[in-house]
Amino acid sequence: MKVLEYTFETNVSFSEPVTKHDFLLRCQPGNLSCQRVMHGQVTLFPATRTSEQRDGFGNRVLMGRIAAGHDRFGFISTGLVLSGETDALEAPGHAMYLKPSEFADESSALRALSREVLSGMGSADPWAQAQALSHAVWDRMDYEPGTTDVSTTASEALALGHGVCQDYAHILISLCRAAGIQAQYVNGLILGHGASHAWVNVFDGDAWRGIDPTNDRVCDDGYIILSMGRDFGDCPIDSGVFRGGVTQEQTVTVHVTTR
Amino acid sequence: MAYESLVKYTPKINQQLARYGVKFGIYKNGHFDERLFPFDAIPRVIDADAWDTLERGLIQRVDALNAYLKDVYTEKQAIKDGIIPEHFAFASAGYLPQCEGIVPPKGIFSHISGIDLVEDKDHTWYVLEDNLRIPSGASYPAVARNLCRRCDASTFRDLPIRENRDYPQMLREVMDNVNCGGINVVLTPGRYNSAYFEHAYLAENSGAVLAEPYELFVEDDVLYYGGEDDRQRVGAIYRRTSDEYLDPLCFNHDSLIGVPNLMAAYRAGNVAIINTPGNGAADDKGVYYFVPKMVKYYLGEEPILKNAPTYLPIYKDDMAYVMDNLDKLVIKEVSEAGGYGVVFGSKLSPEDLELFRQRIIDDPRNYIAQEVVDFISLPTYIGGEVVPRKADLRAFVLSGATTRVWPSGLTRYARQAGSSIVNSSQGGGFKDTWVLSR
């Protein structure tokens, strides 16, 4: 059990002012059995009225609209989270997490890899199997930013053999589902200094447990969950639509420390 | 026969329909093609007694489907009680988890339901398909009726034919019933949509504003029509765009079509979406199998309308039956709509039959098989003579303050003699449907 202090900052600069900018953010942790939010706040710039809801997956979402021209957009999400009260997320399983999805798709290579990894295993325990699959992803893949993008699917990333945390997570989800294990995509923050992160929750029959294939480890109380879904497409941290044919540059900084 | 005087007007009415722009478009293989929808002046006639049974059956069926939609997105009691298998309910491509937990205004999910039926030779009606997303076609018989009356007023004076030109008023009542404050809007993807004529007709005649997505925006969880400075609040939106193009921040992040954060306004209870997103969870060709069970489960009643005898290959006994009788059955791909993915086993070559056999074994969830319902042909005026053509009926059920059936419907007939494929996208035509009041 840890008290984690987080600062999550995203800055977008546009080459020309944009207008009619609608956005939807999933940048705040919510209360879950494995984490409790003690304090949290989001500052937006330009300063904008927002409304807050829970989406269909239970994620906290913040929505707003900036009609006037602006060439910068960003948010700072800060707060304190008590993490690891229990080590698992107590929530029921759901059949939709067994079905291939847009980004965690299926392919013969994914099915073959899943079979190959699990064929030598004596255990039929989904949690043990998921860990073996996670290790295989880590083993197969090279971490190389810039070689994949947000639209890369699990089958594409596996064929490439490299990618970032999003790709690792999608591949692991597809491998789990191929083996009949329910798996979901998780966006979040981890202890240390860097960017936002993505990992996988698998359903062990009773509860959901986190695995981080990018770091080849099981999630612990250094992980803060921001959003969950079938894959990246269900729960992006920040998404927006605006008018203006521009190029944009985005920087993301995350600090998570224990307190 | 009552229609004889109308037959001679067929060419004239078709000319007028063409002039009014009563067309439908087909988007296929990346190419958009606009076609006239051929009208046959010989109507389908349903007598008062037969209609009474149909009406009760349709109301019952749609009430059960609405109860299921509410259940599947909230309590999931029918799934917990084993009425519908979990993997079936949630593996349906039309089930949208983004809609979890939302109960729409007045609890109505399917406001406008298009139920496709056929009449067997022994006069039993069978439901072939429920369309709970954006069923189209009501405007065609309403417009055609108007033209027929002008050509041949005496027929309509002498026969007890129930009015069907009030469909737009019924639609308006449906919109007003769930309106959360503000104007009613008909949302069209634009003139390149296959049903654009209908969108324009329904908006004009129901007093709603016809809007394209770029004319709408959401602020503070409220939907507005117009510009930043001359906005009008929208209380109900009859959208004629599919779920995936409704809100780019919710469903399809690659798409720029749609109204950003419309789903947030809907979830907040500030606008009614007609029909609600996610209704595909109940009109999947696989979920269809369970509709009679839903009637018993939710309403405690015996189903009045029958399904065509249907087999689900996921069940062992059904799979065995399907494998033994594939050459006699209709095979339908669960994920396809509009007459695509429908194959008659009797028309397949031995090689293709084997191909389908293997496909069903490989992916049993994606197929259903049905007995061929030998449905009746209706007299149809084609090429200067009256010939028999197979025809189905799309009945429109409107769920407002009460559930009502529009006393008419879209009768579609097959273009080719002997064919059972009546979909407009497959070249068929349409007829008016006369419901007699006595």
CB-CB contact of B334 with B368 (8 Å): yes
Residue B192's pLDDT is 80
Would you tell me which residues 64-93 of chain A have a C-beta closer than 8 angstroms to some C-beta of chain B?
Answer: 65, 67
Contact: A63, B264; criterion CB under 8 Å: yes
Q: Which residue of A has its CA nearest to B252?
A: A233
Most confident of B181-195, B335-349, B412-426: B181-195
pLDDT of residue B31: 64
Q: What pLDDT band is residue B21 in, cutting at 50, 70 and 90?
A: confident
Residue of chain B with shortest Cα separation from A229: B97
Residue B437 has pLDDT above 80, yes or no: yes
Which stretch of A148-157, B28-37, B166-175 has the lowest confidence by average pLDDT?
A: B28-37
Q: According to the model, what pLDDT value does residue B2 have?
A: 63
Average pLDDT for B105-126? 96
Confidence band of B339 (pLDDT split at 50, 70, 90): low
To probe the interface with B, which of A63, A232, A237 has the most B CB atoms within 10 Å?
A63
Give the model's confidence band at B370: pLDDT under 50 very low, under 70 low, under 90 confident, else very high: very high
- Smallest Cα–Cα separation from B35: which of B431, B433, B421, B428? B428
Residue of B nearest to A67 (CA): B228
Strands B232-239 and B183-187 turn out to be parallel
Average pLDDT over residues B74-93: 90
> In this structure, is the dihedral angle defined by the CA atoms of residues B231, B237, B243 and B245, taken in order, positive or negative?
negative
Which of the pair, A93 or B33, is modelled with greater confidence? A93
pLDDT on residue B252 = 75
- Best mutation target among B76, B250, B271 (most A Cβ atoms within 10 Å) is B250
Q: Which of residues 13-42 of A touch B (CB under 8 A)?
A: 20, 22-24
pLDDT exceeds cutoff 90 at B194: no
Residues of B in contact with A185 (CB under 8 A): none
Please list, in sequence order, all residues whose beta carbon lies within 8 angstroms of the beta carbon of residue B49, skipping any fewer than 6 positions away: none
Does the structure show a pLDDT above 80 at B26? no
Ordered by start, the domain boundaries in chain A are: 2-85+237-258, 95-234
Q: What is the mean pLDDT of residues A148-161?
A: 96
Percent of chain B with pLDDT over 90: 71
Whole-angstrom Cα distance, residue A157 to residue A155? 6
Give the mutation candidate from A18, A19, A20, A22 for the B interface (greatest B CB count, under 10 A). A22
Both tokens of residue B63? 């009430």
Helix (H) or strand (E) holding A189: strand A183-190
β-partners of residue A142 are: A162
The total of other beta-carbon atoms located within 10 Å of residue B30's CB is 5
Q: Does A238 touch chain B (CB under 8 A)?
A: no
For chain A, where are the alpha helices, taking DSSP H only?
108-119, 126-140, 154-160, 165-178
Which residues have CB under 8 Å from A47's CB, separation 6+? none
- Are B193 and B202 a contacting pair, CB within 8 Å? no
**Nearest CA of chain B to the CA of A22: how many Å?**
6
Q: Which residues of A touch B250 (CB under 8 A)?
A: 24, 55
**Contacts of residue A230 in chain B, CB cutoff 8 Å?**
97
**Chain B residues touching A99 at Cβ < 8 A:** 90-91
Most confident range (mean pLDDT) of B19-28, B61-70, B195-204, B367-376 is B61-70
A:107-146 residues touching chain B, CB 8 A cutoff: none
Question: pLDDT class for B33, splitting at 50, 70, 90?
Answer: low
CA distance A117 to chain B (A): 23
Half-sphere exposure (Cβ direction) of A169: Cα atoms closer than 13 Å: 28
Q: What is the residue type of B79?
A: I
pLDDT of res. B85: 87
Q: Is the pLDDT of residue B416 over 90?
A: no
The candidate with the shortest Cα–Cα distance to A243, out of A64, A74, A10, A14, is: A14
Query: Long-range contacts made by residues A57-60, C-beta under 8 angstroms, separation at least 24?
Result: A57/A227, A57/A228, A57/A229, A57/A234, A57/A235, A57/B97, A57/B98, A57/B100, A58/A30, A58/A228, A59/A26, A59/A30, A59/A226, A59/A227, A59/A228, A59/A229, A59/A235, A60/A26, A60/A28, A60/A29, A60/A30, A60/A227
| CATH class of this structure's domain A2-85+237-258 | mainly beta
- Inter-chain CB proximity A22 and B249 less than 8 Å: yes
CB neighbours of A182 closer than 8 A, spacing ≥ 6?
A93, A94, A95, A97, A98, A176, A202, A203
CB of A53 within 8 Å of a chain B CB? The answer is: yes
Give B218→chain A minimum CA distance, Å. 8
Percentage of chain A lying above the pLDDT 90 cut: 92
Q: Is the pLDDT of residue B193 over 70?
A: yes
Query: Position of tokens 């406001």?
Result: B111
8 Å CB contact of A51 and B220: yes
Inter-chain contact B264–A99, Cβ cutoff 8 Å?
A: no
Domain boundaries, chain B: 4-301+375-435, 309-371
- Does A243 contact B at CB distance below 8 Å? no
Q: What's the rounded mean pLDDT across residues A149-165?
A: 96
Using a CB-CB cut-off of 8 Å, the residues of chain B touching A22 are 217-218, 249, 260-261
Q: Which of B103, B215, B220, B366 to mutate to test the interface with A (most CBs of A within 10 A)?
A: B220
Closest-CA residue of A relative to B216 is A20
Q: Kindly list the residues from chain B whose CB atom is less than 8 angstroms away from the CB atom of residue A234.
A: 97-98
pLDDT, tens digit, for every residue of A107-137? 999 999 999 999 988 888 999 999 999 999 9
Contact B96 A24 (CB under 8 A): no
Q: Which of A57-61, B24-28, B144-148, B372-376 has the lowest mean pLDDT?
A: B24-28
Packing angle of the helix pair A108-119, A126-140 (nearest 10 deg):
120
How far apart are the C-alpha atoms of B142 and B155, rounded to whole Å? 16
pLDDT band at B419, cuts 50/70/90? confident
* Annotation: CATH topology of B309-371: Dna Ligase; domain 1 (3.30.1490)
Please give the pLDDT value at position A152.
96
Buried b (16+ CB within 10 A) or exposed e, A187-224: bbbbbeeeebbbbbbbbbeebbbbbbbbbeebbebbbb
Say whether residue B355 is in contact with chain A using an 8 A CB cutoff. no
* Partners of residue B248 in chain A, C-beta under 8 Å: 241
- Whether residue B378 contacts residue B42, with contact meaning beta carbons closer than 8 Å, is answered with yes
**Nearest one of B236, B253, B256, B87 to B173, comparing CA atoms:** B236
Look at A96 and B90 and tell me if their CB atoms are within 8 Å.
Answer: yes
What would the DSSP string read from start to end of B194-227? TTHHHHHHHHHHHTPEEE-GGGEEEETTEEEES-
Do the chains contact at B90 and A54, CB–CB below 8 Å?
no
Question: Is pLDDT of B336 > 80?
Answer: no
A98 CB neighbours in chain B (<8 A) are: 87, 91
Question: Rounded mean pLDDT of A56-78?
Answer: 97
Residue A11, sorted as left (phi over 0), alpha (psi -120 to 50) or beta, turns out to be beta
What pLDDT score was predicted for residue B424? 65
B314-341 average pLDDT score = 86
* Amino acid code (one letter) for B143: V
- pLDDT of residue B213 exceeding 90: yes
Q: Looking at the complex, does the CB of residue B100 fall below 8 Å from at least one CB of chain A?
A: yes
Q: Which of B100, B220, B261 sits opposite A49 (nearest CB)?
A: B220
How far away is chain B from the Cα of A172, in angstroms, using its nearest Cα? Answer: 20
Q: How far is B90 from chain A (nearest CA, A)?
A: 6
Structure-derived torsion over alpha carbons of residues A103, A109, A110, A116, reported in degrees to the nearest 10: -170
Does B330 lie at the interface with A, CB-CB under 8 angstroms?
no
List pLDDT tens digits, range A168-205: 999 999 999 999 999 999 999 999 999 999 999 999 99
Which residue among B86, B219, B249 places its CB closest to the CB of A95?
B86
A56 part of contact set with chain B, CB < 8 Å:
yes
What is the domain class of A95-234 according to CATH? alpha beta
Q: Burial of B347 by CB count in 10 Å (0-12 exposed, 13-18 middle, 19+ buried)?
A: exposed
Q: Which position has the higher pLDDT, B427 or B13?
A: B13
Average pLDDT over residues B303-313: 95
